[in-house]
Structure 1
């Protein structure tokens, strides 16, 4: 079987006409384009141009039968709240794929089976925890400590929402939040062209496969506190959720959720805020202040804590 594979690769001198997108971005189409690009500089250029034309030609969606989106309308407990923050990218989003070989130097992260670009739940949790820390004064702490993290301790509301990190405390505590991946339907390309200082001309363009500006996405997370945690830890859930939503807005609209955030990638405009709870239906708002006013009524009644 291995011999047949190597023989097939040896004769692979062009990309297949049937790309079978988006699954072809995980295996098949992308592999054959990568092999084609290895034959020489001309083949590399042709393979990349062919790959980019095909990827730009259609939108990318997961099979509907998978139904990977959480059903927040069927939550089992009235203390649980499902959140959706719908947004549209204003700048490109990029997270490097972990494929060892690819026709491009900087492919965007994709699902390994279905080939659809996505942002994993773990990335959402890490970035939002960081945004909450900034909200709680991490920036001022780093300035006073000359960039060192020593001495910083997360406030109780952050530990309540995200839990403590393994190895950080003697007793591990699970947070009240559960995150879900975000899938994106479009792929585009950005070119960075480094210039020679001597010639002041482009040396060799570097292509980045990205999720382009204008692509919509949804941040989904579930607020599901364990019974008794709020009382035992003396947590104010109203303050915790208010700080969380404020941090989420700053993360999406100011800081960005992409690699290369320092050049402005990964910022978005928030289109709608939504929340779901058992027995209360759903609430929504275009602005965070309006949405929070409706959510506060839920929580202040004692049913959301």
Structure 2
């Protein structure tokens, strides 16, 4: 007896005829080629998947309804930001789907079947970029690469909160993150070479979001009265914007960013405020000057 779904279907042709494949759902195509893969037609199944899945994707209408609307913020202390970017190198984050004919499928939403970067991933990477700005690199160099004695400065705690598991001292940060959707899928092949023969051994396929794909980072700065640690918007927001720029253009947002994946060009900066309204700029410095005017005029700090 096997507990694996696709090997079970591959071994029992009668079950294959009885079980209707959900072709109308996002995972239907993946299920169909995966069954063929587990039946032994591995190369043909992989080629069919790469032909069918690659290229531009039409995002479902429901995806547009998940994009936050910052046009009517409830508090003058809140600020929202959107950063449009275009990938310069492939973006990859491993999918959590249990069965797939590729060893390295890109992460996709389970409902819509389109690539996306989760809000939690944005929060983790941007926290790391802020830590680098606060001196994390120098700390690691002094402590043999260990984080043991590292303590986030108050401005990072204000934005992101404490790390989970800190018991009574745990507090939520002032930032709220949203997922990013991508409308392209591509494939990369890494072919390790044998040092003795200097020839490729076994190609490793990666499903990725290719260069040229566009995305948008959306986040909300929503401090509440009495939150600790307290900080002024004029002090924390320029550091946050600088970290966003460094993360996208220098560090990268991909799971394989150490290989240079996930870097992007920022094409547009936007900010939203209850009283100040809406502003759109081509660079971070110009956007911050407008936001600073809002803060100085309205006393939102």
Q: Same fold (TM over 0.5)?
A: yes
Partner of 1:252: 248
**CA distance 1:253–1:7, shift in 2 (3 Å):** closer
CA offset digits 1:235-276 (Å, max 9, x no partner) = 232110000000010000000000111110000000011011
State the shift of 1:19 in Å.
6.4
Among 198, 203, 207, the residue aligned to 1:209: 207
Contact 2:102 2:205 in 1 (8 A): yes
CA offset digits 1:153-210 (Å, max 9, x no partner) = 1111111111111223632211110000001011000000111122111112111000
Partner of 1:158: 156
Contact 1:75 1:277 in 2 (8 A): yes
Give secondary structure in 1 for the equivalent of 2:39: coil
Looking at structure 2, the residues matched to 19 and 213 of structure 1 have their Cα atoms a distance apart, in angstroms, of 29
Among 78, 81, 84, the residue aligned to 1:80: 78
Partner of 1:133: 131
Structure 1 spans left out of the alignment, 5+ residues:
none
Partner of 1:116: 114
State the shift of 1:57 in Å.
4.8
1:226-237 to structure 2, matched below 5 A, reads 226-229=224-227, 233-237=229-233
Contact 1:55 1:187 in 2 (8 A): yes
1:256-275 to structure 2, matched below 5 A, reads 256-275=252-271
CA offset digits 1:42-92 (Å, max 9, x no partner) = x11000101111112542313247600111002111111111000000000
Partner of 1:285: 281
Contact 2:118 2:178 in 1 (8 A): yes
Segment of structure 1 superposing worse, 84-93 or 169-178: 169-178
Looking at structure 1, the residues matched to 172 and 9 of structure 2 have their Cα atoms a distance apart, in angstroms, of 51
State the shift of 1:99 in Å.
1.2
Give secondary structure in 2 for the equivalent of 1:103: coil
**CA distance 1:117–1:293, shift in 2 (3 Å):** same
1:38-187 to structure 2, matched below 5 A, reads 38-40=38-40, 43-64=41-62, 67-168=65-166, 170-187=168-185
Structure 2 spans left out of the alignment, 5+ residues:
none
Give secondary structure in 1 for the equivalent of 2:66: coil
CA offset digits 1:101-126 (Å, max 9, x no partner) = 10111100000111011000000000
Looking at structure 2, the residues matched to 208 and 65 of structure 1 have their Cα atoms a distance apart, in angstroms, of 25
State the shift of 1:304 in Å.
3.2
Give secondary structure in 2 for the equivalent of 1:83: strand
Looking at structure 1, the residues matched to 181 and 149 of structure 2 have their Cα atoms a distance apart, in angstroms, of 37
State the shift of 1:9 in Å.
7.5
- Normalised to the residue count of structure 1, the TM-score between the two structures is 0.89
**CA distance 1:7–1:95, shift in 2 (3 Å):** closer
- Normalised to the residue count of structure 2, the TM-score between the two structures is 0.90
Q: How many residues align?
A: 292
Contact 2:9 2:35 in 1 (8 A): no
Partner of 2:31: 31
| RMSD of aligned residue pairs (Cα, Å) | 2.4
Partner of 1:296: 292
**CA distance 1:107–1:228, shift in 2 (3 Å):** same
User: Any runs of at least 4 consecutive aligned residues in structure 1 with deviations exceeding 3 A, and if so which?
Assistant: 5-13
